[in-house]
Structure 1
Amino acid sequence: MMPGPPPARGGRGVACVQLWIHAGAAAERSREHGCAHLFEHMVFKPWVDAEGRSHDLASAIEALGGDVNAFTSHDETVFHATLPGDAIEEALAILLPAVTSRPIDPALLDREKQVVIEEIHQYEDDPAARSIQALMADLYGDHPYARPVLGELEELQALTTARLRGWQRRQCRGESLTLVVTGCADPGAVEAQARALL
């Protein structure tokens, strides 16, 4: 937690929230290739929690006056939001459950797999992206860094709800997560909320 200066008189200030999952494509097990990136996509899909409440990460953060995005690499999957400084508590209450406890809807998963398949096709049509992937494969051989972050088409098509849930349960828990918050917030309050939600 890095406290920032107080906002100007009458202002709200700005805060940045990042949730780092210390697992990307390189941490995927056999038959999980593509899970990290597909999970990143799924977090942005609407969902219903155990109490029947509907959630939509992007809409909720935007309603607070912020924006949210994510990226996946070989080593991590990261969700990041920039928002008004007085909206940190609400943002954490939305973001943390969206990553750690959201259910995986099989119908949504099938639709999102098609989105990622289109993304793979776009990379296949890009000579620079193909060259970089070929270089990674040559450099790293059997190491997980040789695999594309998005996964291969056949692997992605074979991913099941159970496999993605297994990846989520294994990777989206306390010791695999780092929460970064900057802005004018009470570090103790942020830590207490994070501990309660994680």
Structure 2
Amino acid sequence: MAGPVPVISLIDERLNTTTVCLASRYGAQQDPKGQCGLAHVLEHALMSTPVGDVPSLSEHVERLGGHANAETGLDRMLFYAQVHPDDAADVTGLLYRAVLQPQWDAGVLEQEKRAVFQELAVAAADHSDVVQDMFLAHLFPGHPLGRPVGGTRADVGRFDTASVAAAHQRRLLTAPLSVVVVGPALPKTVDPLAAGLDPQTLAAIGTVSGALPAAPPQGPAEAVRWPEEFTWVCAGARSVSNHDPRRPHFNMLAQLLGSSPSSLLYRRLRGEAGLAYTFQAWNRGYADTGAWRVLAGVEPGNGEAALDVIRAVLDEIAVRGPGPEDLASARRQARMQILTCVDSPLECARLLAMRSGGFDSWTPADEVAFIDAVCADDVRRAAAEVRDGLRAVVSPVAP
């Protein structure tokens, strides 16, 4: 559909539910200095404030037997609902109104700020969460990409209706927005004008790109201070943007060092060395750059040895490339991840929103083709970049 809210759809008449996802290119990296967590609080408020005659979008959808949720990332926000097809037109209209024409309620905002405080407390108690925030802060020093998505308690505590409404008006409403639909048919209200949206509101969508300054050069990697207790280590390097043709190369490298028993790192780190029980690897592309990382939990005294194994595996791939059997296995694993998401309508909608950004012609079939095109030399070059830029942080940190 042409217009300010393009539609990306996957229509299958055999489906028994309809999932609708609004995808915005406004994310936490656009929070102003001193307002860390503003996008996150806005997301909470929009899902919980009254919409027309219903107390909130979330409650209304759940009372219909469906599921509604939202999430904030560094470079995007997603608002979605999965409902019976008979309810899809009504819920799509409510979703538009909740996100684009909210009814601000100071009481609801204070309630949601308390919920965010609880989220922050849970995250602060989970060192596997803490270490990821530390890693991004170290990877992108002084840059918005290095700030925690959830915010800080001090900044969140200062937000009021005026500041949240201003973020909505100046940032969310002016950022590019799309709608993703996975279901048996397109709801008629997928057209925001048919949903009763104000044309002036729609005219503002996509008028501001929200471009950020380039990430600054990195300083030297710091020595790790290992604590005398179980700790989480996050090791990795900058990669490439979400739309860089090399993104699948870094994704495949993550598959080769992932938590599957078929991965090279699993065999070396867990099987042969017995240094880590739980770990994972992944690559995340943003608008202008990316982050590749391994996260592992290690016992006291095992940290440096585990990090040495990670370095050795990266170096092996960087020098010789992955073996044919390992590459074929990683390729099958990567394909299966895409196909598994496609088989779940809600996960498929999220995948379409996050991979394509909701603004181009990317499809799951395209991603499978990208995966199949990755060769050993592509992965070798990606491994060399990660090896050469590798840095690691841990949580907790030795005093």
Q: Are 2:69 and 2:81, in contact at CA under 8 Å, matched by a contact in 1?
A: yes
- Name 2:22's counterpart in structure 1: 19
Answer with 102-111 or 139-148: which moved more.
Answer: 102-111
Map of 1:50-61 to 2, 5 A cutoff?
A: 53-61=53-61
CA offsets 1:128-170 (integer angstroms, 9 cap, x no match):
1111111111111011111100111111111121110011112
Call closer, same or farther: CA 1:108–1:191 in 2, change over 3 Å: closer
**Cα distance between partner residues in 1 of 2:159 and 2:189:** 39
Q: Are 1:88 and 1:185, in contact at CA under 8 Å, matched by a contact in 2?
A: no
Kindly, what percent of the aligned residue pairs are identical? 28
User: 1:179 deviation in Å?
Assistant: 0.9
- Name 2:11's counterpart in structure 1: 4
User: 1:196 deviation in Å?
Assistant: 4.4
Q: Are 2:36 and 2:151, in contact at CA under 8 Å, matched by a contact in 1?
A: yes
Letter in 2 for 1:74: L
User: 1:6 deviation in Å?
Assistant: 2.5
What TM-score does the superposition give when structure 2 sets the normalisation length?
A: 0.44
CA offsets 1:50-92 (integer angstroms, 9 cap, x no match):
xxx3432122223433211111110111111111223221111
Residue 99 (str. 1) matches residue 99 (str. 2): yes
CA offsets 1:99-123 (integer angstroms, 9 cap, x no match):
1111222222222212211211111
Call closer, same or farther: CA 1:86–1:117 in 2, change over 3 Å: same
Call closer, same or farther: CA 1:179–1:155 in 2, change over 3 Å: same
Call closer, same or farther: CA 1:174–1:181 in 2, change over 3 Å: farther
Q: Are 1:32 and 1:164, in contact at CA under 8 Å, matched by a contact in 2?
A: no
In structure 2, the gaps of 5 or more residues are 1-7, 203-399
Answer with 63-72 or 167-176: which moved more.
Answer: 167-176
Map of 1:45-84 to 2, 5 A cutoff?
A: 45-47=48-50, 49=52, 53-84=53-84
Map of 1:137-148 to 2, 5 A cutoff?
A: 137-148=137-148
- Name 2:240's counterpart in structure 1: none
Call closer, same or farther: CA 1:179–1:118 in 2, change over 3 Å: same
**Cα distance between partner residues in 2 of 1:129 and 1:28:** 20
**Cα distance between partner residues in 2 of 1:41 and 1:113:** 8
- Name 2:158's counterpart in structure 1: 158
User: 1:43 deviation in Å?
Assistant: 2.0
**Cα distance between partner residues in 1 of 2:36 and 2:138:** 19
**Cα distance between partner residues in 1 of 2:143 and 2:48:** 32
Larger Rg computed on CA atoms: 2
- Name 2:184's counterpart in structure 1: 184
Residue 41 (str. 1) matches residue 38 (str. 2): no
Call closer, same or farther: CA 1:48–1:58 in 2, change over 3 Å: closer
Call closer, same or farther: CA 1:176–1:196 in 2, change over 3 Å: farther
- Name 2:110's counterpart in structure 1: 110
**Cα distance between partner residues in 2 of 1:175 and 1:121:** 30
CA RMSD of aligned residues (A): 2.3
SS in 2 for 1:55: coil
Q: Are 1:57 and 1:95, in contact at CA under 8 Å, matched by a contact in 2?
A: yes
CA offsets 1:167-188 (integer angstroms, 9 cap, x no match):
1112333752111112222477
Call closer, same or farther: CA 1:59–1:112 in 2, change over 3 Å: closer
Q: Which runs of 4+ in 1 moved over 3 A?
A: 186-189, 192-196
Call closer, same or farther: CA 1:86–1:54 in 2, change over 3 Å: closer
**Cα distance between partner residues in 2 of 1:192 and 1:167:** 21
SS in 2 for 1:59: helix
What TM-score does the superposition give when structure 1 sets the normalisation length?
A: 0.85
**Cα distance between partner residues in 2 of 1:131 and 1:79:** 27
Call closer, same or farther: CA 1:61–1:189 in 2, change over 3 Å: closer
**Cα distance between partner residues in 1 of 2:49 and 2:25:** 24
User: 1:44 deviation in Å?
Assistant: 2.6
Call closer, same or farther: CA 1:2–1:45 in 2, change over 3 Å: closer
In structure 1, the gaps of 5 or more residues are none
**Cα distance between partner residues in 2 of 1:43 and 1:192:** 17
**Cα distance between partner residues in 1 of 2:137 and 2:174:** 32
Of structures 1 and 2, the one scoring higher in RCO (CA 8 A, sep 6+) is 1
